[in-house]
Amino acid sequence: MVTIDGETVGYLSRQNARSYRKQLKQMGHERIICKCDAMIVGGWHRSASDQGKFGVKLDLP
């Protein structure tokens, strides 16, 4: 789950989540909650009828 300021904004793909969890488990961090830097990209919100989608780029190790 990806959250920003307590709000859920997305999820890792299943494949990426499995891979990331596997790496964490190998490092002995099976039940850790991870935090990372992120950047909100794209999108616009000029009015209720004029808006585009935003994305979030995660800076994962």
pLDDT, residue 10, reads 92
In order of 10, 13, 36, 53, 58, the CA distances from 45 in angstroms are 19, 26, 26, 9, 22
Note the pLDDT of residue 11. Answer: 93
pLDDT tens, 2-55? 999 999 999 999 999 999 999 999 999 988 888 899 999 999 989 999 999 989
The pLDDT assigned to 61 comes to 78
pLDDT at 31: 87
Instruction: Record the pTM.
Output: 0.66
Please say if the pLDDT value at position 59 is more than 90: yes
